[in-house]
Structure 1
Amino acid sequence: MSNLEMPVRYIKGVGPGREKILNSMGIFTVFDLLNYFPRDYEDRSKVTPIINIVSGHKVLAAVKYTGRYKVLRPRNGLSITKLYVTDDTGYATLAYFNQDYIIKNFIAGNYYLIYGDAELSFGEIQIKNPDVEPIRKDINHYLCIYPVYSLTKNITQKVMRGIIKEAFLYLDEIYEMLPQELLSKFKLIDVKTAYKNIHYPDSMENLERAKRRLAFQELFEVMLYLNILKLKRETIKKGILFSPCDEDEFVKLLPFKLTNAQIKAWSDIKQDMESERPMNRLLQGDVGSGKTVVAAMAVYKAVKNNYQAAFMVPTEILAEQHYSTLTRLLAGQGIKVGLLISSLSAKEKNNILDKIAKGEIDVVVGTHALIQDNVIYKNLGLVITDEQHRFGVRQRSMLEQKGDNIDVLVMTATPIPRSLALIIYGDLDISIIDELPPGRKPVRTYLVDKGMREQVFNFIETHLKNGEQCYVVAPLIEESDKLDAASAEKIYKELSGKFTGFNVGILHGKMSKEEKDYMMRQFKENKIHVLVSTTVIEVGVDVPNATVIVIENSERFGLAQLHQLRGRIGRGDKESYCFLILGNNNSEVKDRLKILTQTNDGFKIAEHDLKLRGPGDFLGFKQHGMPAFKVASTYLDNDILEDVFKAVRYFIETYGLDTLTATKMVRIIEDKWGFNEEDIALN
């Protein structure tokens, strides 16, 4: 066992009690301790003379205690102890609240280094509850940038700093993951210097260098691992070599012209399908960007090569929609489309299953029913999954196993910034449709104070009388004593009474699958005019007649989620309107949501959302099996990612996949991140 694997109890200053505290913070070994990075820093590298202290700023000052003090008791239970200090330029007071004992820590005539918040109070500079250090050595000994750690009770910053400094004894044992040529090529400091400077930087510039180096390494390790898995898969498995066919003839029969983004995405997919390696491609595009048409072209190519295709979606109503769309797009090509969903009768199911097994159905659209044991494909060559994050990891794998090294196309309408997509889907090739078809009218979006709700619902009534439909989204299903937010049930009752002459429906997560599908079908068929819902409509069906969406307590939703909800309207040729009703309309909330009123571009919104929230929980980041980055979270910019990708390519080209160096690297990465090769590959 290396010293880095030693339990923290062997570090000087850590006894049994502190070991329990550190364990509760997720720190068990010396390595854990060194990787417990500061959440912030205090720049105590420069002393400010009292005369230059600015109110409202943190300050470091070297002062002499005059021996004078006051204890004030302005009201019951509160005491303020004021100590008078001086330097060559003036006088100041140190103010401590409810700490009468603090006087014992000061000796008249002695010098102290103080650090705290300064303010001007009744004409004098006052420093509140400052940290104090007696000056016993040359003052330069004390000047540095101090780390600030996230702590739990019974442990102080001073104790934590001391323990981590003791762990520096073992810095030399930290393994240097990056070859020297990469350090030189990308101007990175070595790993030991990076660890030292992320805890105790000797300048803000060196802190940035340390952060960049460790962020680079985190991204490098994850991307290298995913790329090695991907290349191994491609090396081991030979896919289906689809022959060229007359896709251009198919495109000519479409009742619309493809966008440049669709043409580019299809070019990527076509190239994959005509290569010997199995296609593993993510097709990412905003709501309404035309992903299904591109998927239909892939289906066409597979069928013309005498293979079947399977198209799996998360809900029955969505399966019916895709079935209808594919039937319309492929009808003139002699391609037979089937629908396999749980609600079919036993006779209908058996008929479909028989036709799939005999190859009489070319493409089957369905839910998880497609992966049941009794579904046998004659010659499956292509699997497409839509909104794949709605499936379990192994559900998609089970569908893929219905064929032999089949091509896989994963689709999502959830906009993810390219930087994040390259990490989440690092083992997939990525195509992005970032262009909407011409003629699509952008949804007009407005931020509305809750005092304007009545006017919004009057606006809805006007559109209902014109034969249009509306969604109203609430953050809660039922009323809550703990949360001040609108509930779907309360709004349903309110609107049922308001919109007399119109049918109001309700949809939420506690309803059975059958109830949800029935309600959505009623809405799609315009038998329900106002649908009150929770976020279960986020991935939903096309209802071109729905032109208004109202989202109550919109501040409770993420930007990307609001954009997805907004995507439920604007599906037809009518003007559409989104009202974001604010339960809390402070300036910070308005600033966050304003981006939605400025653009309908999901990728721009996602980039903005990523900057605000970081990638930790961005769109279920952790659900993809990806790690929680410690440093890289704030470094997901294109510059560093571009360098990381270059470094990964260089490493693989230099060391290969099966060398001892690459094998050792993979094992170290698996141990460090807790990766499971099978699960990552399935994702």
Structure 2
Amino acid sequence: GRLVLLTAAEVLGRRWSLGLKGGAPTQEVGVQPALRPGEYVVHPDHGIGLYKGLTMLTVEGVTREYAVVQYAGEDRLYVPADQVGILQPYLSGEETTPRLSHLGSRQWKRAKSRALEAVREVAVDLLELYAARETAQGYAFSPDTPWQREFEDAFPYEETPDQLRAIAEVKADMEKPRPMDRLLCGDVGYGKTEVALRAAFKAVMDHKQVAVLVPTTILAQQHYRTFKERFAPYPVTVAWLCRFKSPAEQRAVIRGLKNGTIDIVIGTHRLLQDDVSFADLGLVIIDEEQRFGVVQKEKLKLLRREVDVLTMTATPIPRTLYMSLTGIRDTSLLLTPPPDRLPVETYVMEENPVLIREAIRRELARGGQVYFVYNRVVGLGEVADRVRALVPEARVVSAHGQMPDEKLERVMLDFIDRKYDVLVATTIIENGLDIGNVNTLIVKDADQLGLAQLYQLKGRVGRTDRLAYAYFLYQRDKLINEGAKRRLQAIRDFADLGAGFKIAKRDLEIRGAGNILGVEQHGHIQAVGFELYCRMLKEAIEELKGKKEEAPVETVVELPVSAFVPEGYVPEHQKIEVYRAIADAATPAEVLAVAAALRDRYGPPPSPLENLLAVALLRAHGRRLRVRQVTRQGELYRIVFAPGQTLKAERLGMVAQKCNARLCRQKDQFTVLLPATGRHESSGSLKKLTEFLVELG
């Protein structure tokens, strides 16, 4: 008899899924790296200080914990631990040590006002760009065709939720009559290329041409292979153009673009030269735009006014910046790793020839390839010779940025084609190379490299479902300075997937900010710290748009209550994270969620922690009702509402009467005086205050 093989999609009419929808998102909104003693922090009112840790203080019989911040001279600021959310890690993208602010001096106010002026200029430029784009006329692409669905069904993996959202956003932009200008941001291997492929297919279905612009010839060839493979079943002509091709080949491609016989072209900045013209260009896809020069960027600016542009970047865009630019720069974020992605096994250790030999042999035994990084051109050849002597059976080649372009590209292309097993190179490999077969990385003298470089290098391996290894080596018996120790510690600590949101990737994120805002903003970011800069930018944009939201009232609760995380309830190094989680809980629901999580993980909260959570709940209800202050004066609680509070006076009066409270009114500001019980507060009296606010509304 005959055997017929049918796929699940043919039988069921859809792709079969194992229920794997990608890993968990790697970046959570609002997650902050935990503060560690010895790190620099920014207080919005007092400036840059050095976080020294937590300390317990008892004042008039009330015990509370405080975050201690040291300023210039011997000045110290004690921030109540439940308000620790006001402190932000100082980030500037530089490894230089910031200057500590003087408590009470005008220096910090001046730095803030200078940054505010710069921020307003950026906001004006961004809004002008946005307004011009909204009125520009472009081409509105047709809705999806049945072929589009067939093309997308051929994708062999299950899309992540982020990918599906990004694809929908890109298509919606393309179907609008104004030119698209969308930034697609996601870590390496998170599926940006698939989004680009689908956008390109949509453009070609409307008989428009697509140009894919990449910074290097190697990347151009990688993209060419991917596009050629995916478009093979369709009548679509894909070509690639770079200086590496012969003059005759280049002329043939340029002719095809001009007469419309080539649908998709992938190339380097050669595509931007004056002799290249298109019959009907509809979409430009740019990979890592920040790596192009000033002249090329100016040409891209002109393109943006006429055709749809999709820009892809693996440099992370900080969440705070992303939020402040919402509605100005259209941005899609891919935050979910593929479901089969494994974290890279990371080792930081003294250099050892036996270890190097074994690491290379283990990789070669499973048919893989190796990157060996030594970041000095002088001596690179000797290092390559040593690797050859250690592993004679390995085919070793070296590469660095000072080689002639053609020779460098030939070496890299041969390595991609597996003609070599080990590539001994400088850090030129840190950007853009996507070779799934390379899954061992060895970095010599890793203590000499910056954190951003270490992280980028680590990202060159572990890009498939195969377990990858990264070895960061330093010379035996060498005294390593504190900065290098911290960097190596960070690269080892953050070995999990999506460690990007933690400190290891923070300086990269600030580079991402520079790509959007311009390098000239760097000094202002350094002066006030990155988080505060982004907050100022968001406020400036909203103000210029004329829809500045009323700032939420921060409720200050100052009551004689012992409220802290007792010793032994959580590990000491996690205390600050617990305080921050409680401080960041803005709504009653969020406070209750934090309390439930603590109870679930560490057991019933002791009395001081119950009090701390009760204070947080009171503060959350107060914030909701625009209460400015909850204090105690002798035998009375004072609840002071913000001016202009819209609560009805009758409602306030009725609830006050029910609770035996007095209501005072001064112009448009209400104050409620409630009788207090006992000398110090307990969870019971805090509950009574909270119930009063709940009754109000």
Shorter-normalised TM range? 0.5 to 0.7
Give, in angstroms, the shift of residue 349 of structure 1: 2.0
CA–CA distance in 2 between the matches of 1:454 and 1:215? 56
Counterpart of 2:543 (choices 639, 650, 666) is 650
Counterpart of 1:431 (choices 299, 316, 332) is 332
User: Where do 1:278-427 residues align within 5 Å?
Assistant: 278-398=179-299, 401=302, 405-419=306-320
* Matching residue of 1:526: 418
Contact preservation (8 Å) 1:219, 1:644: no
Counterpart of 1:558 (choices 437, 440, 450) is 450
User: Where do 1:471-620 residues align within 5 Å?
Assistant: 471-478=371-378, 487-583=379-475, 585=480, 589-599=484-494, 604-605=499-500, 607-609=502-504, 615=510
| Counterpart secondary structure, 2:372 | strand
CA–CA distance in 2 between the matches of 1:351 and 1:220? 48
Note closer, same or farther for the CA distance 1:454–1:219 as it changes in structure 2 (3 Å cut).
farther
Give, in angstroms, the shift of residue 546 of structure 1: 1.4
- Cα displacement string for residues 630-659 of structure 1 (whole angstroms, at most 9, x for unaligned residues): 46654422x77356424422322379xxxx
Contact preservation (8 Å) 2:186, 2:333: yes
CA–CA distance in 2 between the matches of 1:587 and 1:356? 55
- Cα displacement string for residues 332-380 of structure 1 (whole angstroms, at most 9, x for unaligned residues): 3432211112222233222222221121111100111211222110100
Note closer, same or farther for the CA distance 1:386–1:252 as it changes in structure 2 (3 Å cut).
same
Where structure 2 has 5 or more consecutive residues not aligned to the other structure, the ranges are 1-45, 51-69, 77-98, 549-697
Contact preservation (8 Å) 1:504, 1:531: yes
CA–CA distance in 1 between the matches of 2:228 and 2:345? 32
* Matching residue of 1:230: 129
- Cα displacement string for residues 13-41 of structure 1 (whole angstroms, at most 9, x for unaligned residues): xxxxxxxxxxxxxxxxxxxxxxxx99989
Letter in 2 for 1:455: L
* Matching residue of 1:152: none
Note closer, same or farther for the CA distance 1:476–1:618 as it changes in structure 2 (3 Å cut).
farther
Contact preservation (8 Å) 1:284, 1:432: yes
Contact preservation (8 Å) 1:281, 1:428: yes
- Cα displacement string for residues 562-599 of structure 1 (whole angstroms, at most 9, x for unaligned residues): 22212222233322101111345456533333333344
Contact preservation (8 Å) 1:223, 1:645: no
- Cα displacement string for residues 155-175 of structure 1 (whole angstroms, at most 9, x for unaligned residues): xxxxxxxxxxxxxxxxxxxxx
Note closer, same or farther for the CA distance 1:558–1:618 as it changes in structure 2 (3 Å cut).
farther
Give, in angstroms, the shift of residue 391 of structure 1: 0.8
Note closer, same or farther for the CA distance 1:622–1:260 as it changes in structure 2 (3 Å cut).
closer
Note closer, same or farther for the CA distance 1:631–1:548 as it changes in structure 2 (3 Å cut).
closer
Contact preservation (8 Å) 1:461, 1:499: yes
RMSD between aligned alpha carbons? 4.0
Give, in angstroms, the shift of residue 284 of structure 1: 1.1
% identical equivalent positions: 31
TM-score scaled to structure 1, two decimals? Answer: 0.60
Contact preservation (8 Å) 1:312, 1:366: yes
Contact preservation (8 Å) 2:452, 2:504: yes
CA–CA distance in 2 between the matches of 1:336 and 1:376? 17
Give, in angstroms, the shift of residue 498 of structure 1: 1.8
Bigger Rg, which one: 1
Where structure 1 has 5 or more consecutive residues not aligned to the other structure, the ranges are 1-36, 42-58, 60-114, 118-143, 146-197, 479-486, 656-683
Tell me how many residue pairs correspond in the alignment: 461
CA–CA distance in 1 between the matches of 2:252 and 2:196? 26
CA–CA distance in 2 between the matches of 1:614 and 1:242? 33
| Counterpart secondary structure, 1:408 | strand
Letter in 1 for 2:470: C
Contact preservation (8 Å) 2:47, 2:528: no
TM-score scaled to structure 2, two decimals? Answer: 0.59
Contact preservation (8 Å) 1:382, 1:408: yes
CA–CA distance in 2 between the matches of 1:199 and 1:348? 60
Note closer, same or farther for the CA distance 1:219–1:403 as it changes in structure 2 (3 Å cut).
closer
Note closer, same or farther for the CA distance 1:398–1:301 as it changes in structure 2 (3 Å cut).
same
| Counterpart secondary structure, 1:344 | coil
Counterpart of 2:534 (choices 641, 649, 655) is 641
User: Where do 1:106-117 residues align within 5 Å?
Assistant: none
| Counterpart secondary structure, 2:470 | strand
Letter in 1 for 2:410: Y
CA–CA distance in 1 between the matches of 2:100 and 2:472? 43
Q: Do structure 1's residue 628 and structure 2's residue 529 form an aligned pair?
A: no
CA–CA distance in 1 between the matches of 2:281 and 2:202? 13
* Matching residue of 1:468: 368
Contact preservation (8 Å) 2:214, 2:287: yes
User: Where do 1:3-402 residues align within 5 Å?
Assistant: 203=104, 210=109, 214=113, 217-218=116-117, 220-246=119-145, 247-398=148-299, 401=302
Contact preservation (8 Å) 1:262, 1:290: yes
Counterpart of 1:443 (choices 319, 335, 344) is 344
| Counterpart secondary structure, 1:522 | helix
* Matching residue of 2:591: none
- Cα displacement string for residues 200-223 of structure 1 (whole angstroms, at most 9, x for unaligned residues): 97748x987x37953772564144
CA–CA distance in 2 between the matches of 1:200 and 1:591? 24
- Cα displacement string for residues 13-71 of structure 1 (whole angstroms, at most 9, x for unaligned residues): xxxxxxxxxxxxxxxxxxxxxxxx99989xxxxxxxxxxxxxxxxx9xxxxxxxxxxxx
Letter in 2 for 1:596: I
Q: Do structure 1's residue 458 and structure 2's residue 358 form an aligned pair?
A: yes
Contact preservation (8 Å) 2:73, 2:102: no
CA–CA distance in 2 between the matches of 1:565 and 1:270? 33
CA–CA distance in 1 between the matches of 2:189 and 2:320? 22
Contact preservation (8 Å) 1:283, 1:432: yes
CA–CA distance in 1 between the matches of 2:173 and 2:512? 29
Contact preservation (8 Å) 1:488, 1:506: yes
| Counterpart secondary structure, 2:182 | strand
- Cα displacement string for residues 503-540 of structure 1 (whole angstroms, at most 9, x for unaligned residues): 11100011011111111112112211111001111124
Note closer, same or farther for the CA distance 1:532–1:620 as it changes in structure 2 (3 Å cut).
farther
Note closer, same or farther for the CA distance 1:652–1:612 as it changes in structure 2 (3 Å cut).
closer
Contact preservation (8 Å) 1:415, 1:603: no
Contact preservation (8 Å) 1:336, 1:362: yes
CA–CA distance in 2 between the matches of 1:510 and 1:623? 31
Letter in 2 for 1:503: R
CA–CA distance in 2 between the matches of 1:521 and 1:293? 23
| Counterpart secondary structure, 2:338 | coil
CA–CA distance in 2 between the matches of 1:602 and 1:225? 37
CA–CA distance in 1 between the matches of 2:360 and 2:474? 18
Note closer, same or farther for the CA distance 1:460–1:423 as it changes in structure 2 (3 Å cut).
farther
Note closer, same or farther for the CA distance 1:421–1:494 as it changes in structure 2 (3 Å cut).
farther
CA–CA distance in 1 between the matches of 2:143 and 2:269? 31
